[in-house]
Amino acid sequence: MNDPGLLILTSLSSGPKHGHALLLDIDQFAGVRLGPGTLYGAITRLERRGLIEPLDADERRRPYRLTAAGTAELADSLSGLRRVVKVGTTRLAAST
């Protein structure tokens, strides 16, 4: 659960955020402190794929928000994770 792209999409699902706000939010809900380079590497790739988009800069800080494609990608990823969690939980319970 430390894929930076997925963490960013999850964070942006509660509304637009700039880089620093993303780092704080991800730290809070996932307990993962991303490095600034890792964060912006993931932002670059997500923007290239059209999953997030920049909003007008607030002074020098630029917020990002999910696109429709980003929302669909997040839903798809979470659905896949739910299946893994379900299977893993069932198998773990059977083995103990």
Partner 1 sequence: MKILLRAYPRRWRARYGEEFLALLEEEPLTWRVRANVLRAGFGERLRGSGPPPLRVLWAWSLFVIGGMAFQKTSEHWQVVVPGGDRGIPTAAFDAVQVAAAVGSAAVLAGVALALPAFPRDVRSGGRVAVRRPVLVAATATIVAAAALAAVALGHNFIAVSVFIAFALFSLFAWTHAAVVAARRLPPMRAHSCLALVVCATMLVMTVAAAVWFGSVTAHAPSFVGAAQLAVAATFMLAGTALAATGLRSAPM
Per CB under 8 A, residues contacting partner 1 are 18-20, 23, 35-41, 43-44, 57, 59-62
The CA distances from residue 64 to 10, 50, 61, in Å, are 12, 12, 10
Distance CA 53, CA 65 (A): 6
Q: 62 vs 67, which CB is nearer to partner 1?
A: 62
**Minimum separation from the CB atom of position 64 to partner 1 (A):** 10
Q: 38 vs 77, which CB is nearer to partner 1?
A: 38
Distance CA 65, CA 88 (A): 32
**Minimum separation from the CB atom of position 86 to partner 1 (A):** 33
Distance CA 72, CA 76 (A): 6
Q: 30 vs 45, which CB is nearer to partner 1?
A: 45
